[in-house]
A = this chain, B = another copy of it.
Amino acid sequence: MSLLGGPVSVVSAGAAMLADALEADQVRVDWRPPLERLVPDPEVDLANQRAVARMLAARPRWVGVGTAVEVIPGMRPDLLLHSGPPMRWEAASGPMRGALEGALRLEGRDSADLEPCHVHMAVGPMAGVVSAGMPVVIVEDETSGIRAYSNLNEGLGRVLRYGANDEAVLERLRWMASVLGPDLGRALESGPIDLGAINQKALQMGDELHNRHRAATSMVFRELALRGLSAESLRFIDQNDYFYLNLVMASAKAACEAAAGVDQSTLVVSMARNGTEFGIRVSGEPRRWFTAAAAVPVGLFLGSYTQEDANPDIGDSAITETFGLGGFAMAAAPAITRVVGGTAQTAVDASLEMYEITLEENSNHQIPALDFRGSPTGIDVRRVVETGIQPLINTGIAHREAGIGQIGAGLVRAPLEPFLAAHLHLARARPDGAPQ
């Protein structure tokens, strides 16, 4: 059973006059003139308050580890999940193709159907490829009971999520399935780990929880060590400060799905990229994707790589921004500027700007540098349309060719077109039948 429960429709509507401006500078934080002044709509406001309240009420806990085909709703042996909105094989970018081909070899198959992780209550960073035999984390929102899933983070360097698929990559994935996953599952038998509490503490320890996870990984390491995780698995986690990324992504997915399905709500419940297209889903119409071409992140590059080598934006990790973390919580993580560029002041400014397009401040995600103001949470499609402020995403940058891997990290702005399309679609579906 897929989450969407029926045929998926993809709406790629554009605002052609914006295209040039969008391509010119994806990361600038300058004020833009309002695109459109919307008439206040108390019914939509009420729907949004109901939806975002569910997001804020989320209490994500790591409850277990299982094999994808056994625990992910609708997963099957002849299916590969991928990041972002729906995509055909032929449209896959270099790193996505590399990851899909690696997963096929891992599973010993010649072909498989493709569906988004998001459609199956799952999320995966970068290519986000999940195959039937992979171990996945199970995260439950204690408040709603909703469960979400993510694969386990492979570490840095040559890894499947960046499109590398040589034998060493597949060997590591086999070890993760046979050793790490079961080890973690045993460690969790004594009870869930409170990810909400770790998220709150991590924001007070310099993580923004999209590109910086050293504090959160340290705290989950402490929990796992106390539960007797094997030395081998502890060493693996210790070598990879991104280990927590997949856990916070599943936390955010569970919280966002709790907020999905409120009639008329213009709250964004997914932002995701497949390396070719960027897509959003909205609470009032969660079965529909609104998409546009994915932009290319701008940032700092490793070694001799340059902007020309960068793949378009890729990964489900923008679920962290959808939940008010990552780029939205940059004020909590001035050290992230060493990875994605900018200064301590631009990091603060980025968070302050995101309050303009969000419905709430999340008291579970307090930012010390803003005197413990809650992070800007719950993107409202209408506010994005009114202000023209594009959601800011912190992200890793993949090489555009398969198998080379991460070449940098940086910032990217969500394209405006999907927000305009979602606005028009929801407005047309209103009783009065026409956009304002």
Tell me the A residues contacting B by CB distance below 8 Å: 201, 204-207, 214-215, 218-219, 221-222, 225-226, 228, 231, 234-235, 238, 333-335, 337-338, 343-344, 368-372
Contact partners of A234 in chain B: CB under 8 A: 225-226
A201 to B338, CA, bound (A): 13
Nearest residue (CB) in B for A201 is B214
Instruction: Identify A343's interface contact among B204, B333, B337, B371, CB under 8 A.
Output: B371
Total identical chains: 2
Select the residue from A206, A218, A228 with max chain B CB neighbours within 10 A: A206
Contact partners of A369 in chain B: CB under 8 A: 334, 344, 369
Ranked nearest first, the 5 interchain pairs of A and B with the lowest CB-CB distance are: A334-B368, A218-B218, A335-B368, A225-B225, A204-B335
Contact B214 A221 (CB under 8 A): no
A344 to B335, CA, bound (A): 16
Contact partners of A225 in chain B: CB under 8 A: 221-222, 225, 234
A65 to B218, CA, bound (A): 24
15 sampled A-B residue pairs with Cβ under 8 A:
A205-B205, A205-B214, A205-B215, A206-B206, A215-B215, A218-B218, A218-B219, A225-B234, A226-B235, A226-B238, A334-B369, A335-B368, A337-B368, A338-B368, A343-B371
A61 to B201, CA, bound (A): 27
The answer to whether A231 and B228 touch (CB under 8 A), given A218-B219, A222-B221, is yes
Contact partners of A221 in chain B: CB under 8 A: 218, 221-222, 225
- Kindly provide the distance from the CB of A35 to the nearest chain B CB, expressed in whole angstroms: 33
- Not counting A204-B335, A205-B207, A225-B225, a sample of 16 additional A-B residue pairs whose C-beta atoms are within 8 angstroms of each other reads A205-B214, A206-B206, A218-B219, A218-B222, A221-B225, A222-B225, A226-B238, A333-B368, A334-B368, A334-B369, A334-B371, A337-B368, A343-B371, A344-B369, A344-B370, A369-B369
